Amino acid sequence: MSKQRIAVIPGDGIGPEITEATISILEAAGFQAEWVYLEAGLGAVDKGKPPVPQETIDAIRDIGTALKGPTTTPSGGGHSSANVTLRKALDLFANVRPARVLPGVKTVFGDRNLDLIIVRENTEDLYAGIEFMPQKDTALAIKVITREGSERLCKYALVMAREQGRKRVTAVHKANIMKMADGMFLDSFYRVAKEFPEIKCDDIIVDNCCMQLVTKPEQFDVLVTENLYGDIISDLCAGLVGGLGLAPGANIGENCAVFEAVHGSAPDIAGKGVANPTALLMSSIMMLRHLGRHDIADKIANSIMRVCSDGKCLTIDLGGKASTNEYKVEVIGQLA
């Protein structure tokens, strides 16, 4: 059998460090792949290329599966986001972000349990990139919500909930204010929900959702939402479960999927060898499950659990002293 091909974008900042650690652990766990390295982000721009070179898009489309480190996007001016470009070019419409407390990891709310999944729309909303200045000192940014985009996203979330035996799916919106855009998203959700009578479907306004996530997060199961709300809520949830170092994600399209952590390129700690690779490693576990390699996925997930609950080899963001490399070696050592 020929080797599974996986596209790899190491990315910027801590990206190459956590990508190296993740791939070493995948290989040590027995996942043999042909890793096809590709460029995107600041690294590409610095070489005079676009943030996502066409050959990167073509290769991912051809290979079908990619593991991606974070890429840097400057605020204000500068190049456009490699992530947004990639998600749109490959039509990766669903961004799946689980937030789960790992045993042994201290969280802001003690040892309470949290196990929810955010399904974020990934190609529309204010991320459509339609911004202009009709006059000096007035900037307009257009929020794009389509019926088709909303329905396919909600359907994806509900099918996923059904497959995973989840009981409740909650649409997060601001339809009280954006009556047309968010109103249509919400209407699309309830239309699709009719096909899933076994799942409790309800909705919540985004600001209340944030408050409830901080005070009573256990009540939620699956949250399905628009692009911007999903971006913000997923960082909030990452904070609840111990920080960005533990928050994985998957960008799913009809024909390909790109697996990456919720966090960014962390320029403040880049090059120091102290980044926590767990979020990208957990994203690679999502990749393995997507590829049907549950055996290896379970092996790595169990090792992460052992290392975290043991608590002796945690990275700095989790209150430990371990370097990226020490943590990597520990996770490899605990693979059973």
Catalytic residues: 127, 174, 207, 231
Distance CA 165, CA 114 (A): 16
Residue 137 engages ligand NAI in binding (rule: CB under 6 A): no
Q: Is 83 in the site for ligand NAI (CB under 6 A)?
A: yes
Sheet holding 222-225, edge to edge: 33-37, 4-9, 65-68, 257-260, 250-252, 94-100, 115-121, 222-225, 168-173, 200-205
**Measured from the CB of residue 197, what is the shortest distance to ligand NAI in angstroms?**
36
- Please give the structure tokens belonging to residue 49: 């290329």
Instruction: Please list, in sequence order, all residues whose beta carbon lies within 8 angstroms of the beta carbon of residue 242, skipping any fewer than 6 positions away.
Output: 101, 102, 105, 106, 107, 318
Interface residue with ligand NAI among 56, 73, 170, 227 (CB under 6 A) is: 73
Q: Measured from the CB atom, is 22 or 234 closer to Mg ion?
A: 234
Q: Which residue is nearest to ligand NAI (CB)?
A: 264
Count residues near ligand NAI (CB under 6 A).
21
Pairing of strands 257-260, 138-141: unpaired
Q: Which residues contact 303 (CB under 8 A, 6 or more apart)?
A: 25, 29, 331, 332, 334, 335, 336
Of residues 234 through 263, those in contact with ligand NAI by CB under 6 A are 244-245, 260, 263
Range in contact with ligand NAI (rule: CB under 6 A) among 29-37, 47-55, 65-73, 210-218: 65-73
- From the list Mg ion, ligand NAI, none, which binds 213 (C-beta under 5 to 8 Å, kind-based)? none
Please state the closest distance from residue 235 (CB atom) to Mg ion, in A: 6
Q: Does 163 bind ligand NAI (CB under 6 A)?
A: no
Q: 209-216: long-range contacts (C-beta < 8 A, 24 or more apart)?
A: 209/170, 209/172, 209/233, 210/236, 213/237, 213/240, 214/240
- Select the residue whose beta carbon is closest to Mg ion and give its number: 231
By CB under 6 A, residue 275 contacts ligand NAI = yes
184-243 residues near ligand NAI, rule: CB under 6 A: none
Q: List, in order, residues 6 or more apart from 140 with CB less than 8 Å away.
A: 131, 132, 133, 134
**What is the footprint of Mg ion within residues 210-239 (CB under 5 A)?**
231
Q: Residue 53 — left, alpha, or beta (φ > 0 → left; ψ -120 to 50 → alpha)?
A: beta
- Nearest CB to ligand NAI, comparing residues 161 and 266: 266
What is the nearest approach in angstroms of Mg ion to the Cβ of residue 287? Answer: 19
**Does residue 41 sit in helix, strand or coil?**
coil
With CB under 5 A as the rule, give the number of residues binding Mg ion: 1
Select 83 or 227, whichever has its Cβ closest to ligand NAI.
83
State the binding partner of 56 from Mg ion, ligand NAI, none, CB within 5 to 8 A by kind.
none
Asked whether 188 and 147 are in contact (CB, 8 A), the reply is yes
Q: Provide, rounded to whole angstroms, the least separation between the CB of residue 265 and ligand NAI.
A: 4
Strands 257-260 and 250-252: antiparallel
Q: Which residues bind Mg ion (CB under 5 A)?
A: 231
Q: Which residues bind ligand NAI (CB under 6 A)?
A: 14, 18, 70-73, 83, 244-245, 260, 263-269, 275-276, 279, 317
